[in-house]
């Protein structure tokens, strides 16, 4: 839907170059695809039976029946049989916790972007609208990013819990004196919090309100400076890249100081004119919609490869 909707990419919280909103969302979905792969790969390592007695040696069961008993229990519980006891080798749950931290951090990264794009001065997207949700008790005009705030807070807690799960790996001998019990506290909360973050993120992605007109208006805020890279690259072949950089840098500063469109300054600068670019060519270079790179093509490649559906973008 928005694979061609132009907007400003941002680096260091400043406008960088143009891209499309679909490109931004496709990157998010590509990350979730990697998380899906990680969890799929983790599943057989995680769902493994631990049944071995006091020290994992199966000493209390007759030797000719111990392995069969273990296998039967694993089959009944729909788990894999272990290759060896792992009571104090807690890497399986630590790995799961790490995956949850990665997953919720991706949710939080998207939530952060939405929070920033929802700022009054930016206004390029909005959270899904629910009556009175996000409003202030004293400022009726406000529409706060409530889901984003929840996602961000949850992700912090998940990362902290994941750290505790790594601590629980340091277990003494064959039955630990404390680290194992950390899991009893932390793992249920990890699962609940991760589920909550995913639910909020799903609602956010499916109901996000996009404001293309505002995106276009923000692209024009710098009066062409957002495509100064395109101008520099256009001038580079005739005057050299570094010289082109210095000329465009100087004209960008004049554009800001005098509140003038960059293209007007380019068209009247003798150094630029001597480079042989026509006013029409300079105007094309200064149009943000002409400098989207391969934003659209990359989204289409993901759709073509079946990683996302066309409606997602």
Is 105 considered catalytic here? Answer: no
CB-based burial label for 40 (10 Å; 0-12, 13-18, 19+): exposed
Q: Do the Cβ atoms of 210 and 313 come closer than 8 Å? A: no
Give the per-residue SS3 of 217-277. Answer: HHHCCCCCHHHHHHHHHHHHHHHCHHHHHHHHHHHHHHHHHHCCCHHHHHHHCHHHHCCCC
Catalytic residue among 34, 43, 45, 136: 136
Structure tokens at 32: 């979730």
Catalytic residue among 43, 45, 175, 301: 175
127 CB neighbour count, 10 Å cutoff: 24
**Phi and psi (nearest 5°) for 90?**
-100, 25
Is 278 considered catalytic here? Answer: no
Q: Do the Cβ atoms of 286 and 17 come closer than 8 Å? A: no
Active site residues: 136, 175
């Amino acid at each position: 839907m928005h694979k061609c909707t132009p907007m400003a990419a941002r680096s260091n919280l400043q406008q960088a170059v143009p891209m499309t909103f679909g490109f931004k969302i496709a990157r998010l979905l590509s990350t979730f695809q990697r998380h899906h792969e990680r969890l799929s790969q983790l599943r057989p390592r995680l769902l493994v039976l631990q049944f071995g007695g006091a020290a994992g040696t199966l000493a209390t069961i007759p030797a000719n029946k111990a392995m069969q008993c273990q296998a039967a229990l694993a089959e009944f519980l729909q788990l894999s049989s272990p290759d060896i006891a792992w009571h104090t080798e807690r890497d399986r749950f630590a790995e799961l916790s790490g995956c949850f931290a990665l997953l919720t951090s991706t949710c939080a990264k998207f939530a952060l972007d939405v929070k920033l794009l929802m700022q009054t001065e930016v206004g390029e997207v909005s959270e899904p609208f629910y009556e009175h949700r996000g409003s202030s008790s004293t400022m009726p005009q406000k529409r706060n990013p409530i889901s984003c705030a929840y996602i961000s807070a949850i992700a912090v807690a998940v990362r902290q819990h994941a750290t505790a799960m790594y601590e629980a790996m340091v277990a003494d001998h064959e039955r630990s004196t404390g680290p194992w019990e950390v899991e009893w506290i932390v793992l249920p909360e990890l699962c609940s919090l991760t589920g909550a973050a995913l639910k909020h993120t799903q609602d956010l992605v499916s109901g996000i309100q996009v404001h293309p007109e505002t995106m276009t208006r923000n692209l024009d805020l710098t009066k062409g400076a957002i495509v100064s890279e395109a101008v520099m690259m256009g001038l580079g072949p005739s005057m050299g890249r570094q010289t082109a950089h210095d000329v465009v840098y100087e004209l960008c500063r004049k554009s800001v100081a005098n509140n003038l469109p960059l293209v007007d300054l380019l068209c009247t600068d003798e150094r630029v004119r001597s480079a042989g670019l026509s006013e029409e060519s300079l105007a094309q270079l200064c149009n943000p919609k002409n400098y989207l790179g391969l934003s659209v093509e990359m989204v289409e490649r993901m759709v073509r490869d079946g990683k996302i559906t066309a409606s997602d973008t």
